[in-house]
Amino acid sequence: MHPFRRRKTIHEDRAKRRIHRVVPWIQNPLQGVDREHLLFAPRQEASTLELFFDLFFVANLATFTAYHSIDDHSSLFAYIGFFAIIWVTWFHTVLYDVRFETDSIYSRACKTLIMICFVGFALVGSNFAPGTDKGDNTNFRILCYTLVLSRVLFLVQYVVVGIFVGMAGRHDIFLPLFLNVAVYAVAAGAYAAMISAFAEGKELQEGNGIYSVWWVVMLLETVATIAISSCWRMLSFRKTHIVERMGLLTLIVIGEGAIGATKTVSRVMGKTGLEPEASGLVFCIVLILVGIWMIYFDNHPHGHFGTIKQQIWSVLHFPIHLAIVGLVEGAQQVALARYIARGILKLEHSFTEYCFRDHLDGEKLTEKLASSINYLQLDKKLHSLIYLDEIQLAIWEVGNTTGICDASGGGTGAIDFPEALSLLYANTAAAMYSALGLAIPLDKDVIETMFESWKLVYRYFWAAFMLLMACFLVVMVLIRTTKSDVFDWVAVTIRATSVIASLGLLLLSVDKKLMYGIMETGWILPVSVGMIYLIIVLDRISALIANRRNRKSGVELVGQHKEHGHRQSSGGSGTATENDQKSLVSGSVTPVGPGHVSHRESYNPLGTGMMPSYYDHGYTPSPQPHTPMMSPGLGEGYPMQPMYNPGGYMPVQN
């Protein structure tokens, strides 16, 4: 054989046959029961299908934010209301998924239907303005239809779980499942009953009376579902991955803020390039995003911290997510307000110079005014085009008014402008404001409208900041499972101080002159950044002090997590290293006692060579011959299917 000729090698696996993955039509949700603790826990990690579904939530949020600028109280109410609708629907989907979902054609079909519901929400969100003349009854009917469809889907899913429970003989959890079905049936009926209130051709409802039914029903169904899981602990979330699901959506919500930050960069520096102040404001927005991420995930719970506490912690994510969205959106609006204020102030100085110092008139004045306005490039912005005709007409009127800026007249600012020049100034300011996608009604005073919108921005920015700090304060109280130390006291104190400080800044809006003076300084974002990073720094210092004292105390230490992330069980106990060691255990496990299996292995009841049979309050293992992995029998007439194993579901044995 030639010494340099490549020898043909045959991989040993080429001679073998393999079993292909086939997604079963439906899987028994009871196969994911933790037999040690008698809890539904199909897996410890979020599946790719769940993450895919989360994208529909953030897509709705991004679309609604793009179409709805918060510039008055009605738009703020609509924003909060729509956010509540999509978040509560997402939350109820998660409550089912973390306890019962196993990958199958049935579960994929259900997930597809709920995704379609979120597409319907996106359609509604494009014109969602309840309680105003901008509302549309057709839009509201679509929302009712979508809510009915989603609740009927939840109802069907719990009915299917009840069927499998009945086939397994576990009649002790019939009642909680029936109550869940009843909750969603009542909710679907309430939403269906609202359809007639938005009949075609019916006059729009003024006020928020009829619209409040949506949120009242959502509140009641959420409270009922949480209460059921609290009373029947087998339906609790103790061993589920709900902590991971909440953390992942929080990360996505913060990421939506990052998208908004990039849009703000293009708005304030798209045509002028880098500017020191604008760059500093954008940098502050980025620091706010990073700071929120650090405070949230540095104090993310590891392990079980109480069944009731965990459920409160989960529901608490509604105000957390709402506050994050409001804070980040408010930060962007503050940066834009500062950008617009600087532009308008510069325009006012130019007009004052041309009229009151140089006393220009006729063609020279119009050339100067046109040059100042052309620099703004208003003709390149879609939303400002409607003002161009008014601006051109005002320039023409200024140029044809003899002696409009003669030496006999004097002034120091916009309040002293002649009528024609004042009209030009107002139209130009409105065009600058609208160029950023912030609409101003043509029948209202431009400057007054801008000031009112900035007052609202100031208020909801600090209100969101206060709400977020208050939620972080409650989280620190909920997740503590050990004796309090220096870290706990400092963490609670600094967060409470931040709540009080933000409340004080919020109350300054009572004095309009003082509030506008604060906004003109441009220090709102730097102050909020300083408060956030003061919390981070003091958390770190107090943690170091507490750790040193605790190590010297001689008491048993817990909580030495070297990393958070996805390797740590979101619902179990023990460190990441311990869990990694457990994962090395082989598929066959020798039971320690009757019916006792480690929590890690309980996710695959067939992997130990035993078929789970339900008896009273536990599992009685019955020996079975070792056969190829098959899904649990569903009763007479149901074929056995090869076990399917996508990432994060059921382990496969060779």
Alpha carbons 573 and 593: distance in angstroms, whole number = 21
Tokens standing for 180? 């869940």
In 3D space, the residue among 323, 325, 289 whose CA is nearest the CA of residue 533 turns out to be 289
pLDDT attached to residue 82: 92
Q: What is residue 137's DSSP assignment?
A: H
Spatial contact of 173 and 235, defined as CB atoms under 8 Å apart: yes
- Would you report the helix, strand and coil content of the chain in percent, each value rounded to 5? 65, 5, 30
- N residues, the chain: 654
* Cα–Cα distance, 654 to 650 (Å, whole number): 13
Mean pLDDT confidence for 106-116? 94
Quick one: which of 165, 141, 160 has its CA closest to 214? 141
The model carries a pTM of: 0.78
Per-residue pLDDT band at 563 (split at 50, 70, 90): very low
Mean pLDDT along residues 307-326:
91
**Placement of tokens 């319907």 in the chain:** 120
Residue found by looking up tokens 């009605």 in the block: 74
Find the mean pLDDT for residues 415-443: 78
Task: Please report the pLDDT score of residue 588 as a whole number.
Answer: 35
**For 330-339, what is the mean pLDDT?**
86
Q: Where are the alpha helices (DSSP H) in 436-485?
A: 446-479
Condensed to tens digits (0 to 9), the pLDDT of residues 32-88 reads 666 655 667 667 788 888 899 999 998 888 888 877 777 778 888 889 999 999 999
When the pLDDT of each residue in the chain is averaged and rounded to a whole number, the result is 78
Higher model confidence: residue 470 or residue 402?
Answer: 470
Confidence of residue 408 (pLDDT cuts 50, 70, 90): low
Helix (H, G, I), strand (E, B) or coil at 314: helix
Region 375-401: mean pLDDT is: 82
Q: What is d(CA 427, CA 245) in angstroms, rounded to the nearest whole number?
A: 49
What pLDDT was estimated at residue 439? 62
Residue 184 structure tokens: 């969603």
Tens digit of pLDDT for each residue in 127-171?
888 877 777 888 889 999 999 999 999 999 999 999 988 888 777
Query: What pLDDT sits at residue 443?
Result: 61
- Residue 119 one-letter amino acid: V
Could you tell me which residue, 635 or 149, shows the higher pLDDT? Answer: 149
Q: How confident is the model at residue 334 (pLDDT cuts 50, 70, 90)?
A: confident
Closest C-alpha among 431, 425, 452 to residue 349: 425
**Which residues does residue 620 pair with via DSSP β-bridges, in sequence order?**
613
Encoding tokens for residue 478? 């909920």
Confidence check: pLDDT of 447 > 80: no
- For the segment 171-198, what is each residue's pLDDT rounded down to a tens digit? 778 888 999 999 999 999 999 999 988 8
* Residue 45: C-alpha distances to residues 51, 97, 197 (Å): 11, 11, 43
CA distance 172 to 158: 15
The pLDDT tens digits of the residues spanning 493-552 come to 999 999 999 999 999 988 888 888 887 777 899 999 999 999 999 999 999 999 999 888
User: What number of other Cβ atoms are within 10 A of residue 97's Cβ?
Assistant: 26
Burial grade of 201 (CB within 10 A; 0-12, 13-18, 19 or more): exposed
HEC secondary structure over 240-257: CCHHHHHHHHHHHHHHHH
